[in-house]
Amino acid sequence: MDAATSLKKKLAILLIVALIFILLFNVNLPNNNNKSIPKPSGPAGVCSLGVSEQTITPLKNTKHLLVSAYVDQRVKDLDIRIIGIFKRDSIQPLHCVFCCTNVLSKTTPATILQHSDHFGFPFATTDVMCQIPQNCNATRVTLLTTPDKESASDSTWLPIRNQKSDRQKEENMKFDFTVCISNLFGDYNNVLQFAETLEMYRLLGVNRVVIYNTSCGPELDRLLQNYSQEGFVEMVPWPIDKHLNPSRGWLHSEHGGDVHYFGQLTTLNECIYRSMERSRYVLLNDIDEIIMPYQHDDLMSLMNTLQNQNPNTGIFLIENHTYPKKPFNQSKWGPLPQWNGVPGFDILVHIYREEPNRNIYHPHKLIVQPRWVIMGKMVECSALAFI
Ligand SMILES: *[C@@H]1O[C@H](CO)[C@@H](O)[C@H](O)[C@H]1NC(C)=O
Ligand SMILES: *[C@@H]1O[C@H](CO)[C@@H](O)[C@H](O)[C@H]1NC(C)=O
Ligand SMILES: *[C@@H]1O[C@H](CO)[C@@H](O)[C@H](O)[C@H]1NC(C)=O
Ligand SMILES: *[C@@H]1O[C@H](CO)[C@@H](O)[C@H](O)[C@H]1NC(C)=O
Ligand SMILES: *[C@@H]1O[C@H](CO)[C@@H](O)[C@H](O)[C@H]1NC(C)=O
């Protein structure tokens, strides 16, 4: 099958799927507002108090925020990576303390790694590395401002994710492809483009789309509730606006605020670790962007080819190109009748790429094997990709 036919076929299927979906969706709205958050189960005692159930946890006695903790033993003598958002002018020494099954560990000094791409904002993505003391079966971790472990009694613990038991061999990774969508905020309600993009990714073999949600419009909320019940979409609550004054822009001197673009660099970093033990490839992009292979039927066969050509490569950069707002058929301006009442932009009538201007720089999107991404690399690439 040649590429053009294959693309046409995909678009046709997508159109049908999306149509059925929207039609059914309008008639049959699930009510899932009363989903309860499961209580964490674990041993009673010193460690069972105060386990954070939030995605963003303020760190006691500091101005910093903690997001999540992951096992990461790729660097010798370091075991745990805590992902956080730290106030750059208030970095102080920190100490790691663990909950070892049900006993408090002694503290170990924390290694604080601030990402360099802060764009002038007072808060920046910061990773904290911790070593687990010997003979400790660590289940939870927190950070203290003093080496005195007794001060941990009223701290909030972070559960340690990607523990050995949930780890799998590369061959039995649960997912081939995860897409990480950077933050949703404001009253963004572009349902049509969102649905078309998600269905396109499904056709291209994506198994999971992770979305960090600060807020969104009512119709998009319903659409995403449905996709996340089905399991294709994983919604991560991202109430950054409850803790900081997030910027809608990427440069502090122009846009003001506490943190770059609703903390986008932190969420993408988080998404890579979230995917590390379960997804072979991770694609980092925005919802208004699609990576569309034109010589392969799906993303996995594209990656197999690229990987054969570049066997020792774990980070692939894909050049950004624009599809003009003008639809491909001039006489078809305006919404198609079948999308009446569906808010948003119809990407399927924009199928011709603008000829790239080779005199200007085009930014890149990333497809990574998550285990290949280490801090330094990530910083370097994120500066390229997300400006
Ligand atoms: C989501 O919407 C589709 C299409 O309307 C429907 O078939 C499916 O049952 C819905 N899923 C959930 C979990 O509500
Ligand atoms: C460590 O703790 C986990 C969870 O409580 C348990 O499943 C595991 O068996 C423990 N491992 C050791 C070596 O004690
Ligand atoms: C997104 O976040 C907002 C604000 O917390 C919430 O009201 C909404 O239900 C969330 N949507 C989804 C699909 O998770
Ligand atoms: C990709 O290119 C388009 C047009 O040049 C631009 O509007 C968009 O912001 C770019 N995306 C990124 C992430 O730079
Ligand atoms: C553009 O749309 C018009 C009206 O639907 C149709 O008559 C025409 O054949 C279309 N042209 C192309 C190139 O698809």
Instruction: Give the position, in ligand 1's atom list, of the atom nearest the Cα of 25.
Output: 5
Residues 198 and 141 in one domain: no
Residues 254 and 331 in one domain: yes
Q: Which two tokens stand for residue 240?
A: 């950054």
Secondary element (H or E) of residue 8: helix 3-27
**Domain C-terminal end among 161, 191, 222:** 161
What lines the ligand 3 site, CB under 6 Å?
213, 215-216, 221, 224-225, 235
Instruction: Give the position, in ligand 4's atom list, of the atom nearest the Cα of 387.
Output: 14
Position 235 in a domain: yes
* C-alpha 23 to ligand 5 mean position (Å): 25
Q: Residue 28: nearest ligand to its CA?
A: 1
Instruction: Give the position, in ligand 4's atom list, of the atom nearest the Cα of 321.
Output: 2
**CATH code at position 370:** 3.90.550
Quote the Cα angle for 186-281-387, to 5°. Answer: 45
Count other C-beta atoms under 10 Å from residue 12's C-beta. Answer: 10
The predicted structure's pLDDT at residue 339? 87
Position 178 in a domain: yes
| Closest protein CA for atom 6 of ligand 3 | 215
Residues 217 and 269 in one domain: yes
Helices and strands, counts by H and E, the chain: 7, 16
Position 43 in a domain: no
Position 230 in a domain: yes
Residues 228 and 334 in one domain: yes
Residues 205 and 152 in one domain: no
Residues 156 and 174 in one domain: no
**CATH code at position 100:** 2.60.40
Count other C-beta atoms under 10 Å from residue 59's C-beta. Answer: 22
- DSSP letter at 332 equals G
Residues 201 and 154 in one domain: no
Q: Are the C-beta atoms of residues 245 and 258 closer than 8 Å to each other?
A: yes
- Candidates 332, 333, 352: which one to mutate for ligand 5, based on the most atoms within 8 Å of Cβ? 332
- DSSP letter at 29 equals -
Position 261 in a domain: yes
Q: Is 323 helix (H, G, I), strand (E, B) or coil?
A: coil
Residues 149 and 244 in one domain: no
| Closest protein CA for atom 4 of ligand 2 | 101
Task: Tell me the pTM.
Answer: 0.82
Pocket flag, ligand 2, residue 166 (CB < 6 Å): no
The predicted structure's pLDDT at residue 10? 54
Three-state secondary structure string covering 297-317: CCHHHHHHHHHHHCCCCCEEE
The predicted structure's pLDDT at residue 9? 56
User: What is the number of structural domains in the chain?
Assistant: 2
pLDDT (tens place) for every residue of the chain, 387 residues total? 455 555 555 544 444 444 333 333 333 333 333 334 434 443 445 676 688 989 999 999 999 999 999 999 888 889 999 999 999 999 999 999 999 988 899 999 999 999 988 899 999 999 999 999 999 999 999 999 999 988 887 889 999 999 876 555 656 789 999 999 989 999 999 999 999 999 999 999 999 999 999 999 999 999 999 999 999 999 999 999 999 999 998 899 999 999 999 999 999 999 999 999 999 999 998 888 899 898 999 999 999 999 999 998 899 999 888 877 776 676 666 677 888 889 988 888 777 777 888 888 888 889 999 988 864 444 343 333 322
* C-alpha 32 to ligand 3 mean position (Å): 12
Residues 150 and 248 in one domain: no
Instruction: Give the position, in ligand 2's atom list, of the atom nearest the Cα of 165.
Output: 7
What is the extent of the structural domain holding 102? 57-161
